[in-house]
Copies of this chain bind each other. A is one copy, B any other.
């Protein structure tokens, strides 16, 4: 997949700041200094400030009038809300995919599925997650709904930075694999109702949330003192 080369400086800067947030170089609640980032990226304040406005719209940072920007502090409720929404969107993607997906696309997903099972049997966690993600993305792509994909992508961005803190227990892992077996069966039957329901109930996201409580909403050195 060739990347569309962005000529827009502000978009480039926004993506870079997004990366900093995702990788924890900018902490939740941390004040974002315009000057500091300008120096870091070698751009002037104009495109940087445009990027900040865009990131605020995307929900990654928040802007306080006359007081600059800060990284959004994810609360447990906030993450929970986001996952509930993502589950609903995945459900919709499954329903739609059943209507539009081609035999070839199903075969490709079947292949991913089998690969994933192999990783599960070997207990290769990272490759498992990698392929798992590809399966969900394939179904999303097959939904043939651009708005849905855009929205899902945005929500995914917001909670990306809390993903690394997962410790899969054996019980949940086997359940997730069973879910995927059912998904695969529903998809190959093109049973949209079933696939939608399975994806909505698929708990892997919620597991993450459950194991997460300690990571998010950390009390930092920076003060908050707002409404």
Contacts and interface: CB of A to CB of B under 8 A. Distances in A.
Contacts of A151: 85, 151, 155
A146 B145 CA distance: 23
A7 B7 CA distance: 30
A interface, size bucket: 20 to 34
B53 A85 contact: no
A8 B65 contact: yes
A66 B46 CA distance: 16
Given A53-B53, A84-B148, A155-B147, A8 B63 contact: yes
A88 interface: yes
A78 interface: yes
Contacts of A63: 8
User: Which label, helix, strand, loop or mixed, suits the secondary structure of the A interface?
Assistant: helix
Interface stretch (A89-97, A167-175, A207-215): A89-97
A57 interface: yes
Nearest to A7: B65
A145 B10 CA distance: 31
A88 B92 contact: yes
16 contacts: A8-B63, A8-B65, A46-B46, A49-B50, A53-B54, A54-B57, A57-B57, A57-B58, A78-B147, A81-B146, A82-B147, A84-B148, A85-B145, A88-B89, A88-B92, A151-B151
